């Protein structure tokens, strides 16, 4: 079910115990949540909600581990990231997409991972393309890019993968990348446009965008 304006308003009231800051914030929520389920997930994973619940006291504690995602293929993950990290650990992270890569990417290919996150698909593709191919991974969030860089080095893929710590678009420029200061989903940053209000518990950082022609 697609969320409505009333869903957003009552989400603020029920989960955050307050009214939305403005109509702009309501519109932002409607754009970012394609379903009521996703809208609810955004509320319960927000810093503001977790600060109201004692059981979340240590929920966001960073806990970096290495997971072998294939034979001799390792990935650094953070167990505090329940959306990606825990699913990678359990082996349940996006199995259909993984099978697509294994069936599609061949030795010697040039592959691009736009929004590389912590590098699950980047590392898989780097293994598939082999030393004769190359992978270009784009990830603007420093926290995710750092984990991706560590996995790149761990698998000795420096010669076959290029990590670009930037977002990518069809033209050069600069926009603010908004991300929760504390979250259990580090794949949820978004670009701020216009006069969009930054919600409480979220921060902004300027990141250059890379023209497609540079890839």
Name the pLDDT band for 102 (thresholds 50, 70, 90): very high
Which pLDDT score, from 0 to 100, does residue 37 have?
85
Pairwise pLDDT comparison (133 vs 34), residue with the higher score: 133
- More confident of the two residues 131 and 82: 131
Using 50, 70 and 90 to split pLDDT, how confident is the model at 180? low
Strand (E) or helix (H) holding 208? strand 202-211
What value, to the nearest 5°, has the Cα angle with vertex 82 and ends 77 and 79? Answer: 35
Q: Is residue 182 pLDDT above 60, yes or no?
A: no
Instruction: Give the mean pLDDT of 68-85.
Output: 87
The Cα 48–Cα 18 span in angstroms is 11
Model pLDDT, residue 131: 97
What's the structural domain count of the chain?
A: 1
**Token pair for residue 26?**
């309501």
pLDDT on residue 211:
45
Residue 31 lies in a domain: yes
**Confidence at 156, pLDDT banded by 50, 70, 90:** very high
The answer as to whether 19 is a domain residue is yes
What distance in Å separates the CA atoms of residue 88 and residue 66, rounded to the nearest whole number? 10
Residue 120 domain flag: no
Question: What CA–CA distances, in Å, run from 33 to 3, 4, 115, 134?
Answer: 7, 10, 18, 34
Pairing of strands 167-169, 202-211: parallel
Amino acid 213: pLDDT: 42
Q: Is residue 23 domain-resident?
A: yes
Task: Please provide the DSSP assignment of 118-159 as one string.
Answer: TSHHHHHHHHHH-TTSEEEEE---HHHHHHHHHHHHHTT-TT
Q: Which domain holds residue 8?
A: 1-44
pLDDT at 130 (0 to 100) = 97
According to DSSP H, which parts of 17-94 are helical? 23-32, 36-44, 47-50, 85-90
Report the pLDDT averaged over residues 143-148: 92
The model's pTM:
0.63
Task: Give ∠ CA 153-119-124 in degrees, rounded to 5.
Answer: 85
Residue 38 lies in a domain: yes
Phi/psi of residue 87, each to 5°?
-70, -35
- In a domain? residue 7: yes
Q: Tokens for 21?
A: 């800051």
Q: What is the pLDDT of residue 15?
A: 81
């Amino acid at each position: 079910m697609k969320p409505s304006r009333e869903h957003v308003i009552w989400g603020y009231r029920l989960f955050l115990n307050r009214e939305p800051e403005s109509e702009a914030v309501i519109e932002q929520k409607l754009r970012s949540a394609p379903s009521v389920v996703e809208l609810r997930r955004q509320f319960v994973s927000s810093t503001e909600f977790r600060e109201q619940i004692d059981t979340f006291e240590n929920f966001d504690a960073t806990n970096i581990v290495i997971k072998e995602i294939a034979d001799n293929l390792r990935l650094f993950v953070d167990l505090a990231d329940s959306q990606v990290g825990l699913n990678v650990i359990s082996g349940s992270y996006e199995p259909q997409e993984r099978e697509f890569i294994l069936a599609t990417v061949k030795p010697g290919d040039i592959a691009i991972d736009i929004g590389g996150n912590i590098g699950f698909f980047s590392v898989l593709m780097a293994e598939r393309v082999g030393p004769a191919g190359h992978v270009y991974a784009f990830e603007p969030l420093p926290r995710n890019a750092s984990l991706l860089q560590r996995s790149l080095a761990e698998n000795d893929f420096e010669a076959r993968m290029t990590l670009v710590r930037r977002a990518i678009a069809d033209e050069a420029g600069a926009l603010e990348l908004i991300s929760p200061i504390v979250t259990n989903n580090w794949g949820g940053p978004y670009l701020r446009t216009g006069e969009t209000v930054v919600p409480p518990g979220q921060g902004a950082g300027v990141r250059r965008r890379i023209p497609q022609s540079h890839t």
